[in-house]
């Protein structure tokens, strides 16, 4: 269409022909979604809320302050230790920010959070955001051998620990004095040698507010493995996720103001973080679980009238494996959304979940720590288009390209690229790795898939050799490096094999040396690798298949052992 022909067209029609929603349509959608999520009329004291917005702005840093002003007594968070309303949690966030600043925490030096799901985790995460200090989310199951190089590369010195994690950090501190680690204990009975978080909070509950963040990003660093097998810190600025992004999600998910949301996936996982922020924006009550046990989680879903939760497929399967009579005694009529993610959600498991909880309540999505939330699919679409991960959310662009970067037509498999405002800022202190996944504003994590004629996404595999087991990303090279150090292992390759419970079962294919004993090696591995990285299956071979350049032919191993019993 030429410019002279466009000149006589109404601006709204012009925008529609360019594929852009005109302003009146965007406004109408926003109002509809706001009503659906009960955003209108559930704000508590509007004058108090307006005052906080004027002073602190509207965003991630001010969410708790806004809710504390508007509805101070509304339950904000509960775990097995305590329950806090929004006023109490806001007071603790401010006190934590003052305490961390006085303790020496400064921008430019990430602060580590290494603990199980608990209320202090959320308070510290939000406090660091107010200070403009990056929070580095560390797996509580990391071993000392895994943790030390990660802390060194990321420049983490100050680290918050719990009863379960402080022995590991103490060991790293003793073995690596050059790191100058400063652990701070969040439990109620800290060792005498460690500073106490709760003592710091008590001494900082009153006084001036923390230094202003001065526009600095509210960064979160989530560690993920890349093509080298070395964990890399993906830096996400959650302050960039504003009201429009929230409305786009609520347009597709049945979440409402004042809901009760169950956080059972670990908070160091980007999926759990995203749902924590979404529900906090909605003034929801967060129910935190520090360890997944199927029967206990079903009991919570029923007793606490949970409206939504994020689960990895392994969790969903274990819930569904509970006896039917137990499900009958634990009804969940208030449950509107179980969102699956982080690992393949098979069609068989999807159908079982739909049979139990209803198609309206089951969701899956495509996304990554580096990409943000890209697509969404509901239970009805799962039944209509088996295997799909849905269509892109508004504001997300998605394309599938060939090896030369040319977009492919529907049905043809290629590399998936996305473009949006939700992308990570980059990998922490690793510009080269950041550039590797970027192409002129588009980003890929090297997943392979295709789009159908209606724009629904389907995954077919991953170009990188990642294994996703129980919702946790594991890079085989890292595991292989550790196993190769054992004296009775001559050669080893680690692969993922399809598994109905774990999504993929981490399998070590070993060329055994003298004195090899599976039980002894397995016991040794427990001290070297986090639980998710330990092989769950062992296969012995005389030699590993290799190509002429010496590369292990892992595809041949998958074909050989993929149908064998464990």
Q: Say which CATH number the domain at 281 has.
A: 3.40.50.12780
Chain mean position to CA 462: 19
- The answer on 480 and 430 residing in a single domain is no
62 has a pLDDT exceeding 70: yes
Q: Tens of pLDDT along 447-498?
A: 888 999 999 999 876 666 678 888 887 878 778 878 988 989 888 889 999 9
- pLDDT interval class at 209 (50, 70, 90): low
Is the residue at 41 inside a domain? no
Same domain? 326 vs 362? yes
Can you tell me the distance from the alpha carbon of 67 to that of 70, in angstroms, rounded to the nearest whole number?
5
- C-alpha 510/C-alpha 506 separation (Å) is 13
pLDDT at 478: 78
d(CA 172, CA 138) in angstroms, rounded, equals 14
Task: For residues 129 and 208, state if they share a domain.
Answer: yes
pLDDT given for residue 234 in this prediction: 92
Please give the mean pLDDT across all residues of the chain: 86
Same domain for 385 and 505, yes or no, is no
- Residue span of the structural domain in which 343 resides: 235-462
Same domain for 321 and 198, yes or no, is no
- For residue 311, the model assigns a pLDDT of 94
Q: Does residue 75 belong to any structural domain of this protein?
A: no
- Is the separation of the CB atoms in 379 and 362 below 8 Å? yes
Kindly state whether residues 104 and 181 are assigned to the same domain. Answer: yes
Is the residue at 71 inside a domain?
no
pLDDT band at 7 (very low <50, low <70, confident <90, very high): very low
Query: Worst-scoring range by mean pLDDT, 248-257, 329-338, 376-385?
Result: 248-257
Distance CA 397, CA 158 (A): 38
Q: What is the DSSP letter of 115?
A: -
Residue 169 included in any domain: yes
Provide the token pair at 58: 């509207």
Does 450 lie in the same domain as 478? Answer: no
pLDDT at 201 over 90: yes
Which of these three, 439, 462, 485, is where a domain ends? 462
CATH code, 128: 3.40.50.980
Predicted pLDDT of residue 491: 86
Give the residue-averaged pLDDT of 92-106: 94
On the question of pLDDT at 184 being above 70, the answer is yes
Whole-number Å distance between alpha carbons of 488 and 529: 17
The reply to whether 76 falls in a domain is no
Question: Three-state SS for 232?
Answer: strand
Instruction: Tell me which residue has tokens 């950041």.
Output: 434
Q: Do 387 and 351 belong together in one domain?
A: yes
Do 301 and 449 fall within a single domain? yes
Give the pairing type, strands 438-439 and 442-443: antiparallel
Alpha-carbon gap, residue 242 to 221, rounded angstroms: 19
Average pLDDT in the 58-81 region?
88
Question: Would the pLDDT of 40 be above 80?
Answer: no
230-246: per-residue pLDDT in tens? 778 999 887 666 667 78
Q: How far apart are CA 255 and CA 278, in angstroms?
A: 9
pLDDT at 357 over 80: yes
- Sequence-separated (6 or more) residues with CB below 8 Å from residue 442: 397, 399, 417, 418, 419
Give this prediction's pTM.
Answer: 0.81
Cβ-based neighbours of 299, under 8 Å, separated by 6 or more: 330
CA distance 107 to 127: 13
DSSP character for 359?
G
Same domain, 486 and 409: no
For residue 437, give the 3-state DSSP assignment. Answer: coil
Secondary structure class of 312 (helix, strand, coil) = coil
Contact indicator for 96, 124 with CB cutoff of 8 Å? yes
Q: Which residues make beta-bridge pairs with 473?
A: 468
| Domain boundary pick from 165, 189, 216 | 216
- The count of structural domains within the chain is 4
Separation of alpha carbons 411 and 305, rounded Å: 42
Last residue of one domain, picked from the residues 438, 462, 486: 462
Dig out the tokens for 70 from the structure.
């508007």
**How confident is the model at residue 31, as a pLDDT?**
57
In a domain, residue 542? The reply is: yes
Helical axes 270-281 vs 243-250, angle rounded to 10°: 100
| Claim to verify: residue 203 and residue 257 sit in the same structural domain | no
Confidence of residue 21 (pLDDT cuts 50, 70, 90): low
- Considering the domain boundaries, does residue 82 fall inside one? no
Residues 394, 503, single domain; the answer is no
CA 240 to CA 222: how far, in whole Å? Answer: 16
Residue 29 has pLDDT above 60, yes or no: no
Q: Is residue 323 part of a domain?
A: yes
How many angstroms separate the CA atoms of 274 and 125, rounded? 13
């Amino acid at each position: 269409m030429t410019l002279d022909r466009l000149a006589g067209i109404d601006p709204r029609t012009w925008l529609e022909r360019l594929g852009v929603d005109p302003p009146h349509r965007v406004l109408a959608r926003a109002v509809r979604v706001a009503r659906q999520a009960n955003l209108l009329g559930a704000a508590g004291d509007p004058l108090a809320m307006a005052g906080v917005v004027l002073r602190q702005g509207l965003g991630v840093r001010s969410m708790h302050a806004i809710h504390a002003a508007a509805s101070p007594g509304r339950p904000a968070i509960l775990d097995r230790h305590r329950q806090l309303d929004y006023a109490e949690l806001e007071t603790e966030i401010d006190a934590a920010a003052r305490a961390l600043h006085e303790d020496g925490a400064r921008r430019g030096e990430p602060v580590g959070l290494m603990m199980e799901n608990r209320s202090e985790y959320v308070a510290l995460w939000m406090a660091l955001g107010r200070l403009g200090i990056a929070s580095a989310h560390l797996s509580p199951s990391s071993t000392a051998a895994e943790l030390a190089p990660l802390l060194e590369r990321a420049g983490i010195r100050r680290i918050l620990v719990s009863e379960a994690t402080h022995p590991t950090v103490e060991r790293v501190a003793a073995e690596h004095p050059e790191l100058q680690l400063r652990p701070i204990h969040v439990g109620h009975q800290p060792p005498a040698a460690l500073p106490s978080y709760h003592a710091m909070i008590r001494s900082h509950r009153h006084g001036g507010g923390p230094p202003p963040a001065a526009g600095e990003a509210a960064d979160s660093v989530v560690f993920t493995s890349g093509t080298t097998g070395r964990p890399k810190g993906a830096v996400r600025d959650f302050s960039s996720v504003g009201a429009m992004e929230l409305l786009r999600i609520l347009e597709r998910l049945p979440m409402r103001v004042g809901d009760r949301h169950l956080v059972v996936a670990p908070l160091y996982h980007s999926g759990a973080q995203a749902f924590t922020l979404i529900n906090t924006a909605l003034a929801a009550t967060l129910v935190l679980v520090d360890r997944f046990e199927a029967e206990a989680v079903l009991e919570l879903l029923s007793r606490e009238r949970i409206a939504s939760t994020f689960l990895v497929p392994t969790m969903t399967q274990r819930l569904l494996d509970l006896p039917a009579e137990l499900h009958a005694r634990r009804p969940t009529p208030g449950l509107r959304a179980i969102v699956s993610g982080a690992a393949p959600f098979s069609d068989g498991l999807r159908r079982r979940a739909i049979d139990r909880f209803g198609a309206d309540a089951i969701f899956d999505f495509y996304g990554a720590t580096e990409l943000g939330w890209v697509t969404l699919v509901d239970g009805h679409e799962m039944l209509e288009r088996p295997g799909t991960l849905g269509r892109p959310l508004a504001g997300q662009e998605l394309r599938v390209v060939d090896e030369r970067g040319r977009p492919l037509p529907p049905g043809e498999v290629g590399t998936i690229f996305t473009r949006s405002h939700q992308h990570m800022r980059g990998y922490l202190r690793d510009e080269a790795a950041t550039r590797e996944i970027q192409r002129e504003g588009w980003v890929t994590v090297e997943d392979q898939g295709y789009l159908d004629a209606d724009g629904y996404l389907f995954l077919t595999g991953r170009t990188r050799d990642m294994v996703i087991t129980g919702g946790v990303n594991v890079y085989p090279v890292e595991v292989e490096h550790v196993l190769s150090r054992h004296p009775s292992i001559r050669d080893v390759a680690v692969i993922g094999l399809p598994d109905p419970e774990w999504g993929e079962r981490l399998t070590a294919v070993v060329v055994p040396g003298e004195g090899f004993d599976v039980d002894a090696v397995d016991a040794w591995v427990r001290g070297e690798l986090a639980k998710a990285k330990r092989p769950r299956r062992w296969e012995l071979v005389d030699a590993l298949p290799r190509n002429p350049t010496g590369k292990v032919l892992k595809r041949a191993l998958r074909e050989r052992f993929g149908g064998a019993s464990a």
